[in-house]
Amino acid sequence: MAPLVIISKHTTASIPRPHILYTVKATLNGQLTTVDRRYSEFVALHDTLKDSFSLPPKRLFATTFLPSAWIDDALITERKAGLELYLTNLIESEEHKDNAHLINFLNPSDNTHVKFNLEDALPSTLSRKTALQIKAQLEDEGTPSKEPEAAATLIAAAYYADWSSDQVPPEGIDYSKFDIIFFAFAMPNSANGLDWDNNGTSILKRLVTSARNSGRGTKIVLSVGGWGGCAYFSAAVSNSSNRQAFSNALVGAVNTYGLDGVDLDWEYPNSPGAGNPYSSADAANFLSLLQTLRSALGSSKIISAAVPHLPWLGSNGKPLTNVSAYAAQMTYVNIMNYDVWGSSSTPGPNAPLGNLCGTSSQPQASAQAAFSQWTAAGFPANKILLGLPLYGYVSHSSRTGLTGSLLPSEEMLILDKSENETHELGVNFLNGAHKRKRPQVSIQDTNLTGWWGQQMAFSDIVSSGALVKKSDGNYGQGGGFTMGWDDCSDTPFLFHTSQQSLVTYDDTYSLADKAQYAKNSGMAGCFTWSLDQDDGYTLQNIIRKNLGK
């Protein structure tokens, strides 16, 4: 039997702006039709029919409008296959095959087109600056160019470290900004119980009380472990007796402090992490712990885990290929897409959105790759929270751009003299993890040499004067630093050549893009590390906005 729908060709049109038309050949009720349709017209049909079938995802800003034919080809190929499957499902559906809207959509004489949408554009024709200008223009004209409002259930979460309580007291938090706050950390101990930092339990009590008194419904979840707190994790899950004792300790903490669940930040099963003992049986034992814990806590409590870009390592030392049994017990996995590249003489991005130039020597370490890797292993998208950093790294480097696995050619260097912003292509990656504490280094003017080799909170970058908040709520360069943009990772950076300092970080633009990606991909939402590193709530607000909250 011949296929009901074929979308093997496409063309481009230039009016009102360069965009893609997909050539649809379809057989409906024995009639063969050929019609050219834009992606946004498929979206409009889907919204009208309210059908249960899936479209290929929206890529507004997720493509970063990178001027590259590679992005064009990847986007078009993805959409051809997805749109073909979508229409095939409609035509085969008893509910929709005779719907007048579908029949009109496939009728070449029907010229009732929806207005131009940025999703229809060729990425290679749009710089980031141009895309933002067009987006603003379309909104002024009354043409919706942004995503539909997200479901109210999308999660905007954050980690809150106990050592930040002096800087950000629990009583001073605006809980309307957070659906979940993960309190960090308690740590497994040698007796299969929990250890706490000094005053940790009293700070947790204050946090729970303040959250409940706020009336905002913010859930408080205890995070256990952390980069420096996992020495006894492997032992705590190694046999049924230890697991039961450890589970009892976790459930006891939930009940004692009135918590909404637990977050297991084990860094990492069957891997040394910060030099911890580990076992080839860790992943299997971890699953047994999750099953024991779920049985004890019931279905209403949150059970989550902070995880790296790839699924946990199995007994063979390779990432698990099927984690569906874990997902059945868990509420979320929290993907730690940060510390991908720390301070270096050849700096790279802290938290890449993706391997957007195809040049990374470690393409598995990005937000896009992590999402693909976890979902391919059977973890549902709607149980994934994407981690966003509110900090960066200061490198001792005279570079003026980020280095990747392939150095950029001269013609790949784009200089926007009107804004004095340099964009240099290239990224690379190395794995990292939650840090126990950020260093306390004094700031003097805009001299950041004292921060070489260190993490630096976004708020500290701003207070140093290297970043300056503008009237539109975004940030620009200051204090002798020059701002650049790395298209290959979709992240900003600052450099000061005479000072030999380069700062990699995330800002309102890059965090907005990653939040959009999480939303468009059907994830549960986003979390940040960590709440105290924001410039007030500026970054959290932009994340919430781009999640549709």
Last residue in a domain, options 140, 174, 199? 140
pTM (2 d.p.): 0.70
| Class of residue 112 by CB neighbours under 10 A (exposed 0-12, middle 13-18, buried 19+) | exposed
The answer to whether 147 and 516 are in contact (CB under 8 A) is yes
Q: How many angstroms separate the CA atoms of 340 and 13, rounded?
A: 40
**Amino acid sitting at position 393:** Y
Answer yes or no: do 289 and 342 share one domain.
yes
The pLDDT value recorded for residue 129 is 59
Which pair of tokens denotes residue 42?
């498929």
Find the angle CA(393)-CA(158)-CA(311) to the nearest 5 degrees.
75
The pLDDT value recorded for residue 309 is 97
The pLDDT value recorded for residue 493 is 95
Answer yes or no: do 306 and 417 share one domain.
no
Work out the end-to-end distance of the chain between its first and last CA atoms, rounded to an integer number of angstroms. 46
Within 10 A of 449 (CB to CB), how many other CB atoms are there?
Answer: 12
Answer yes or no: do 14 and 100 share one domain.
yes
Answer yes or no: do 405 and 440 share one domain.
yes
Which pair of tokens denotes residue 146?
């942004």
Say if 150 falls within a structural domain.
no
Give the rounded distance of the alpha carbon of 60 from its chain centre. Answer: 15
Q: How many angstroms separate the CA atoms of 90 and 52, rounded?
A: 9
Contact partners, residue 238, CB within 8 Å, separation at least 6 = 279, 281, 285
The answer to whether 157 and 181 are in contact (CB under 8 A) is yes
Answer yes or no: do 325 and 352 share one domain.
yes
Say if 437 falls within a structural domain.
yes
User: SS3 for 138?
Assistant: helix
| Class of residue 218 by CB neighbours under 10 A (exposed 0-12, middle 13-18, buried 19+) | buried
Residue 388: phi, psi to the nearest 5? -125, 130
Say if 146 falls within a structural domain.
no
Answer yes or no: do 263 and 246 share one domain.
yes
Answer yes or no: do 226 and 278 share one domain.
yes
The radius of gyration computed from the CA coordinates of the chain, to the nearest angstrom, equals 25
* DSSP for residue 381: G
Q: How many angstroms separate the CA atoms of 131 and 117, rounded?
A: 11
In sequence order, the β-bridge partners of residue 307 are 335
Answer positive or negative: Cα dihedral of 226, 159, 521, 384. Answer: positive
Answer yes or no: do 442 and 541 share one domain.
no
Count of alpha carbons within 13 Å of 342, Cβ hemisphere only? 11
CATH number for the domain that contains residue 297: 3.20.20.80
Give the rounded distance of the alpha carbon of 277 from its chain centre. Answer: 30
The answer to whether 157 and 179 are in contact (CB under 8 A) is yes
**Taking the chain (549 residues) in consecutive chunks of 10 residues, what is each chunk's mean pLDDT?**
80 74 86 89 90 77 46 76 89 89 84 68 64 64 46 84 97 98 98 96 98 96 97 98 98 98 98 95 98 96 98 97 96 96 91 87 90 95 96 95 49 30 28 38 69 96 96 93 90 94 96 93 95 98 94
DSSP class per residue in 509-549: HHHHHHHHHHHHTT--EEEEE-GGGSSTTHHHHHHHHHTT-
Q: How many angstroms separate the CA atoms of 255 and 193, rounded?
A: 15
5-13 and 19-28 strand pairing: antiparallel
The pLDDT value recorded for residue 416 is 30
Answer yes or no: do 350 and 487 share one domain.
no
- From the list 427, 425, 428, 423, the residue with the least C-alpha distance to 484 is 423
The answer to whether 242 and 235 are in contact (CB under 8 A) is yes
The answer to whether 440 and 231 are in contact (CB under 8 A) is no
Answer yes or no: do 490 and 409 share one domain.
yes
Is it true that the peptide bond before 16 is cis, omega within 30 degrees of 0? yes
Say if 251 falls within a structural domain.
yes
The pLDDT value recorded for residue 417 is 29
Answer yes or no: do 372 and 514 share one domain.
yes
Say if 304 falls within a structural domain.
yes
Say if 148 falls within a structural domain.
no
The pLDDT value recorded for residue 124 is 63
Answer yes or no: do 84 and 121 share one domain.
yes
261-265 and 219-225 strand pairing: parallel
The answer to whether 20 and 122 are in contact (CB under 8 A) is yes
**Amino acid sitting at position 284:** A
454-457 and 421-423 strand pairing: unpaired
Domain ranges, residue 401: 396-504
Q: How many angstroms separate the CA atoms of 321 and 192, rounded?
A: 29
- Structurally, the chain folds into a number of domains equal to 3
The pLDDT value recorded for residue 443 is 44
DSSP class per residue in 168-210: S-GGG--GGG-SEEEEEEEEE-TTSSEEE-TTHHHHHHHHHHH
Say if 147 falls within a structural domain.
no
Say if 380 falls within a structural domain.
yes
Last residue in a domain, options 95, 116, 140? 140
Last residue in a domain, options 140, 168, 196? 140
CATH number for the domain that contains residue 122: 3.30.1520.10
332-335 and 302-307 strand pairing: parallel
Contact partners, residue 174, CB within 8 Å, separation at least 6 = 537
